[in-house]
Structure 1
Amino acid sequence: MNRLYLYLVVFFISITSSSVYAADNKFITLCYHDIIEGLTDNLDEDQMAVGLGNLIAQFSWMKEQGYNVVSVQDILDGEQGKKPLPEKAVLITFDDGYSSIYKYLYPLLKMYDYTAVIAVVGKWLSAKPGEFVKYGDRDKKLRSEFLSWDQLREMKASGHIEIASHSFDLHHGELGNPQGNRQPSATTRIFNKKSQSYETDQQYYERIKTDLKLNSDLIEKNTGVRPRTMVWPYGASSKQTVSIAKALGMPVTMTLKAGNNTYLDLPGVRRKLVISNPSLSDFVNDMEQKEKQMDLVRGVRIDMDDIYDKDPKRFTLKFNQLLDRIKAMKVNTVYLSAFSDEDNDGYAESVYFSSKHFPTRADILNRVSWQIQTRAGGGDHIEVHTWMPIIAFENEHGNQLNEQAILGIYEDMAKYVYVEGLLFSDLKGAGSEGFPRKLINTVKNYRTRVKKAAILLSSQTVIDAAGNSNYWDNLNKYYNNFVINVNFKSKSQKTHIESLLQALPKNKDLSKFIFELQTVNGETNEKISATALSSEIDFLLENKAIQLSYYPDNVQGDHPPLDMIKSKISVREFPFSD
């Protein structure tokens, strides 16, 4: 403890902050994991660990700058109107229940008079001394690397920690598709290889409920108090899992979504993930970020019909080529078709996911989406948005499906596919009043990470709607963004783009509009040259239209040419640096 004492002497500043109450009752939540003494860089194998010295520096800085560390009880009191939160409120959380919490964090909490939420995994704590526990899907850790019940009881009795549930045994992946991808247990319908079928809704519900109840019972048995906070492993949750947690006495649940919180966020608290042992300057920059910068969209729209092949080997080859191409382009958004339109009549005839409401051409969308998110980013995150029609679905007899059946199709997609956004096309109409909102809410019931819904429009449609405020008012009811497919006019493209920009609503926020370049002339089916595409992008950028995507992408034919499109559309400042 001598080294810890020296750290405290150097960094601890005794400041008594008066509570100035904030009118908006916002709070920040920090998410830590393990603490390693002597860790000074970000090269440790465990990128979730923070160095002891850096942690003390962060705690000291928060104290100096007037941040007020609050407890879950403080937040609940504020929600109930008993006592508002102080200004610059911060909730500290530590996931997984490492033994370093008792050794290093506990003395700091007492010294700074801070509190923290400690989220524990029941199965790990139930292992016998000397045994290994399975940590995630690959690693194994000794039971001694985690807290003991005696340590948890002591810290709880001090009033400096609150014990939260991190599940009994959901901190691992489950088989999520026929191709073998393992995905977060709490939000995955398990695929059974023997029966070639997915877990039923009832089986899924009972599995999650049984797990959460088991961990709450275990915590109560060993500490005398049931947890009221559920911290989702990997941050993966849905409205259904949140509802189960609430019914079991845990109205507060925590995710790994970025952002600040108000009382309205208690069912899904956002947390700042403290990762890669950040220096004090990096930590300060993250904490003091006043407003989130505009999300720059640089993307590509992929038609699954272009990469699907009945021959598994040929499909795998084409898919791997696509992953390599996306990784090389360094884009951050992929719009991925979830349906098949083999006869190109504008109607979906089948889908690329398991569905009990519509024919499945091949159950591959979940794998494609997951692999793009986990393999194609090269360390950067890629958002995958599924692209589907609103009402353009027809059955084997050529009859259009009713809205209830379409809601079922979207529900199936949300259950079995990991997505973060939606792209709608309405070539055949938008359905009844409010129908797009029903589709969006249906997906969000299962995929809480879905934060954006966009509509695909042709540039000519936008030009034709110039000055029609009702048109845009109606679209704004449902959509965060508008993906505008810029029709190619070989002899007057700049004039066409000028007309498009002038047709956008007055006082327009250009960040809401993603300009999608055509790489093939829709009228002649001829490829648009790299020179023409490059010129088009430059003209858009000159006019402050910086949100860009393109369609279609020809992987095998390298069109548009990789070097050209990479230099123009990459989110990286230096796209050729690696």
Structure 2
Amino acid sequence: MLTFDDGYRSFSEAVLPILREEGVKATLAVVTSFLERPPPDLPPMMSWDQVREADRSGLVEIASHSHDLHRYVASNPYRDTDPAVTTRLYRVGEKRYEDRDEYWSRIRKDLRTSRRILGERLGHDVSFLAWPYGEHTAVARRIAAEEGFTATLGLDGVPAAPGDLSGGYLPRVMVYRGSGIDGKSVRWLFDPRPTVRAAQADLDEVYDPDPAMFRLRLELLKDRILRLGATDVFLQGCPDPGGDGFFRAVWFMNHQVAVRADVWSMAAHLFSRAGLRVWIRAPVMNLSWEWEKHPEWRIPAGEKGAGKSPAPWYRRLSPDLEGARRAAVDFFSDIAVYLPIRGILFDDDAFMLEGERLRGSGNGSPEAKSAAIRGMIEEIKAAVLAWRPNCLFARNLYAPAVERDALHPGFSQDFGRFLSDYDLTVVMAYARMEGRREDAGAWTESLARRAIRKWIPPPGRESEPPPVLLKLQAYDWSEEAWVPAEELREQVRGARRAMVNGLGIYPVLPASGPVPDGLLGGKAAGTSERYPYPE
């Protein structure tokens, strides 16, 4: 299925003659406001006569590309912008976000206007809608169906599957000028999974109530991240100024907990403009504000005695309780609604220790606890995907879970399950926290090799690296000192010897102690050693 968006005059002058010559059919999605009032900064648009000619050709089906949603709108108090369909518009003059009803009304009015104009100009109704920029939400798709569109088209970069059309939605793949069409295979259509080299940063370390000073500190942090060789940023979502893991506020607009400052979106835009992919790092079970309000949702205190694990270091909700699950879903739904996220990194609070039991069922088996945590996160993922269909998901994993062949009873975490459940598994390769200071490089290599052995690539993606990232510890919290540069380099060399190229580092500050520039990049900082595979 060939589709062409926007309604440029080149379709009529160049594409339509080829379609006629080859006898090939296509769909043309037009932005009705562009045809009514051609924007001066775009290539020449088709006239309505040319659109009608294409419509009558018998080869072209005309679709809507919205009326006035093919644009970016203000998405935060700092006047950053995002696609109109997936953004809760920020009303700068009123200093507020549009509410749910206003969003629904804006989308509905636009789609209704586009469909009405097309019907009047063509003399018949149109059935298809191509979302501007391929961006859409579950709410927007429902509104489109209510307004008479039988199917909508996205831009997900994945092939359509049987049943997609009957479900009312078709994904598409963008083809660019110069795309390397190669033989009969369609693999050229799909980009390989990008390498992730991540810097994990806390806004606590750079925030300042003075906007100018805050921007300056963010710029310094961005420059530091780029010098490390990072491609991605795991950006803190909840302030933790006391370092005790007790969250009483967040860095973004939401309806669940206090907002310390609505700055996450602005920071994400600043990093994105520098070419960095931005993920939010957020808690799953350690929703401290709910933990305070609902003692009945808390995980009961673990059993004491010989052989039992130490006291937990997070205040967590029991994942088998409906109230706790609903609170988590609501929290992450707000993240999806208000933030321009590339992905979500579920933090390291999603675990249960030996001796702990689920509050609802009373079950203390590692299998039951792992299943309850997984069920909670799957509900969260579904809620996020309703607003951000292309959102990626990663989860922090404790290193001992990789070193075990099956479910680790001390954390109720299963590395093999993580590999199938998440787009990226972030292994906390914190050598010093695991007591491996003296052999950090060898331990990291062993950890990486075990991770690779457990990865079974899906058909057609055998050449891609495993979706695993080893996150290194840059600071020794017990000694309150930075980890020496050579120790970090040795860990990087260990990972590379095991052919693992996904690396991360935490924490990263504008001046991150002795962490060497280029640590995550194409060669080890201060050496000539390069990856043994093409970059």
Q: Which residue of 1 aligns with 2:424?
A: 481
Deviation at 1:395, TM superposition (A): 2.4
Report the Cα distance in structure 2 between the residues aligned to 1:152 and 1:92, rounded to whole angstroms: 17
* Residue in structure 1 matched with residue 414 of structure 2 by the alignment: 471
Structure 2 counterparts to residues 239-388 of structure 1, below 5 A = 239-266=138-165, 267-275=168-176, 277-278=177-178, 282-284=180-182, 287-289=186-188, 293-373=192-272, 375-377=273-275, 382-388=276-282
Aligned to 1:445: 386
Deviation at residue 115 of structure 1 after TM alignment: 1.4
The match for 2:504 is 549
- Does the Cα contact within 8 Å between 1:257 and 1:449 map onto a contact in 2? yes
TM-fit CA distance, 1:461 = 4.6
Counterpart-to-counterpart distance in 2, 1:447 and 1:345: 31
Letter in 2 for 1:413: I
Structure 1 counterpart of 2:343, one-letter code = G
Q: Which residue matches 1:24?
A: none
Matches within 5 A, 1:212-231: 212-231=111-130
Rounded Cα–Cα distance in structure 2 between residues aligned with 1:146 and 1:202? 33
Contact kept, 8 Å, 2:449 with 2:498, in 1: the verdict is: no
Taking structure 1 as reference, are residues 250 and 409 closer, same or farther at Cα in structure 2, changes over 3 Å only?
same
**Structure 2 match to 1:113:** 23
Q: Identify which of 389, 396, 406 aligns with 1:456.
A: 396
Asked whether the 8 Å contact 1:540–1:546 carries over to 2, the reply is yes
User: Which stretch shows the higher mean deviation, 335-344 or 502-511?
Assistant: 502-511
Distance between the aligned counterparts of 1:293 and 1:155, measured in 2?
36
Which of 199-208 and 310-319 deviates more? 310-319
Aligned counterparts of 1:393 and 1:161: Cα–Cα separation in 2:
53
Give the corresponding residue for 1:21.
none
Does structure 2 conserve the Cα–Cα contact (< 8 Å) formed by 1:348 and 1:389? no
CA 1:391–1:467: 2 relative to 1, 3 Å: closer
Unaligned residue ranges in structure 1 (runs of 5+) = 1-90, 128-132
Distance in 2, matches of 1:428 and 1:140, equals 49
Given that residues 230 and 520 in structure 2 are in contact (C-alpha distance below 8 angstroms), is that contact kept between their aligned partners in structure 1? no
Counterpart selection for 1:535 from 453, 467, 490: 490
Listed as ranges, the gaps of 5+ residues in structure 2 are: 295-316, 318-323, 353-368, 457-464
Q: How many pairs were matched up?
A: 461
Relative distance call for 1:251 and 1:329 in structure 2 (3 A) is farther
1:483-522 to 2 correspondence within 5 Å? 483-488=426-431, 489-498=436-445, 500-501=447-448, 504=451, 507-509=454-456, 511-522=466-477
- Whole-angstrom distance in 1 between the partners of 2:227 and 2:163: 40
Considering only aligned residues, what root-mean-square deviation do their CA atoms show, in Å? 2.8
Structure 1 stretch 406-415 or stretch 203-212: which is displaced more? 406-415
2:332 partner SS: helix
Q: What do residues 118-151 of structure 1 show as CA deviations (whole Å, max 9, x unaligned)?
A: 1111112223xxxxx33xxxx6358xx2212222
Contact 2:430 2:471 in 1 (8 A): no
CA–CA separation in structure 1 for the residues paired with 2:19 and 2:173: 19
Q: CA offsets per residue over residues 37-81 of structure 1, 9 Å max, x none?
A: xxxxxxxxxxxxxxxxxxxxxxxxxxxxxxxxxxxxxxxxxxxxx
SS of match in other structure, 1:445: helix
Checking the alignment, whether the CA contact within 8 Å between 2:401 and 2:414 is kept in structure 1 is no
Q: 1:428 to 1:220 in 2, by over 3 A?
A: closer
The CA distance in 2 between the partners of 1:322 and 1:404, in whole Å, is 35
Q: Do the aligned partners of 1:460 and 1:487 also contact (CA within 8 Å) in 2?
A: no
Q: Is the 8 A contact 1:530 1:561 kept in 2?
A: yes
Q: 1:429 to 1:397 in 2, by over 3 A?
A: closer
Helix, strand or coil at the partner of 1:140: coil
Give 2:314's aligned residue.
Answer: none
Percent identity (aligned): 26
Decide whether aligned partners of structure 1 residues 197 and 152 sit closer, same or farther in structure 2, where only a CA change above 3 A counts: same
The Cα of 1:449 is off from its aligned counterpart by: 1.7
One-letter amino acid matched to 2:393? A
- Structure 1 distance, partners of 2:41, 2:75, is 22
**Compared CA separation, residues 426 and 325, structure 1 to 2 (3 A):** closer
Normalized against structure 1, the TM-score is what?
Answer: 0.73
2:493 and 2:80 map into 1 onto residues whose CA distance is 40
TM-score, normalised to structure 2's length? 0.79
Change (3 A) 1:500 1:421: same
Find the aligned partners of 2:189 and 2:20 in 1 and give their Cα distance: 30
State how far apart, in whole Å, the 2-side matches of 1:94 and 1:447 are: 24
State the distance in 1 between where 2:341 and 2:95 align.
23
* AA in 1 matched with 2:380: L
The alpha-carbon distance between structure 1 residues 398 and 311, as it changes in their structure 2 partners (threshold 3 A), is farther
Report the Cα distance in structure 2 between the residues aligned to 1:329 and 1:253, rounded to whole angstroms. 42
Matched, 1:122 2:35: no
How far 1:166 sits from its partner (Å)? 0.7
Whole-angstrom CA distance in 1 between matches of 2:383 and 2:346: 14
Alpha-carbon distance in 1 for matches of 2:290, 2:186 = 55
Choose which of 68, 71, 77 in structure 2 pairs with 1:172: 71
Q: Which moved more, 1:212-221 or 1:480-489?
A: 480-489
Aligned partner of 2:339 in structure 1 is 417
TM-superposed CA distance for 1:343, in Å, is 1.7
CA drift of 1:355 comes to: 1.2
Structure 2 counterpart of 1:235, one-letter code: G
Equivalence for 1:404: 326
- In structure 2, give the amino acid aligned to 1:347: F
Distance 2:471 2:218 in 1: 22
- Three-state SS of the structure 2 residue aligned to 1:273 is coil
- Structure 1 residue 389 corresponds to structure 2 residue 265: no
